[in-house]
Amino acid sequence: MTISTPAATPSSYRVAVLGLGAMGLPMATRLASELTVHGFDIAPARLALAADAGITPFDSARGAAEGVNAVLLAVRNGQQLREVLFGDAGIADVLMPGAVVIMTSTVGIDDVVSVAGRLAESGVQLVDAPLSGGPVRAGLGDLLIVVGAEPSAREQARPVLDLLASTLSVIGDKAGDGQAFKTVNQLLCGVHIAVAAEALALAEALGLNVESTLATLSAGAAGSFMLANRGPRMLDAYTEDGAEVLSRLDIFVKDMGIVTAAARGFGLATPVAAAAEQVYLLGQAGGLAAHDDSAVIRVIAPRAAV
């Protein structure tokens, strides 16, 4: 594994950001500070916000993608990835040879490898670059981005990656390597969130002050990023409005499904990950899919909102 060094940003570089949601808009805004950015979203209000941030709005994904050096995608799953590239209004046939598609989502190894092969037929390379950090850090260029791509593709994508990442780690030389790493990462994240919910629910059942317990746990050997980050939001999960949605619970339904499917493909047992997956599935079935993933504590310890 290597950590890349910064590269110069060409003034003529053009990038299309397709999808200007919670992550897409701050990423596009960050990129627009130095690059020419085309933006597309199905919501007119998001396009208006993009225009205010110096992004050139387009009324179609194909229009935004035409003639650019790179396209940045943040899609929900492999089906959406194939649709935006190869569907009836897909962009693949308007991309110029030598362009790169930068895929920032967690969709699984097989989908990314398949799509990369199809793009290569028209001279377009795919940069497998799943990221972590959230909307605020995206706007600051403070994301962790893990990259799997051929060296030439990485170089073409550098102006985008360097602006968005404070930590840019090259994990491998082919598309799919980034997804492989993110699969391992999500196993740990998903388990950590679920077990943090169990711990805080147990603390409350034992009659402990949950706020002080959380603070003390976070300072000791039992602490973790997910405990410190999701713990306070878990305390908000029981309020009438719930915790602010920074990462939807159904994202971990998808991600833990990717984890357990990948493990099964190698005949590898992942009993802890499988148990965590069931907790997220129960949350989704219980109407929590669109809630923040910290709401998983309500699966462990259901009680009325206050």
Spell out, as residue ranges, where the chain has pLDDT lower than 70.
1-11, 304-306
Q: What integer pLDDT is reported at residue 5 of this predicted model?
A: 38
Which residues are tagged catalytic? Answer: 182
User: Which residue segments constitute the domains of the chain, with CATH numbers given?
Assistant: 2-175 (3.40.50.720), 180-300 (1.10.1040.10)
Gap between the Cα atoms of 26 and 20, Å rounded: 8
103, burial (CB in 10 Å: exposed 0-12, middle 13-18, buried 19+): buried
Q: How much is the mean pLDDT over the chain? A: 94
pTM of the entire predicted model: 0.89
Query: Each residue of 62-103: pLDDT tens digit?
Result: 999 999 999 999 888 999 999 999 999 999 999 999 999 999
The residue behind tokens 């980050």 is 229
pLDDT score of 3: 42
Distances (CA, A) of 1 to 106, 147, 152, 216, 237: 20, 10, 17, 35, 38
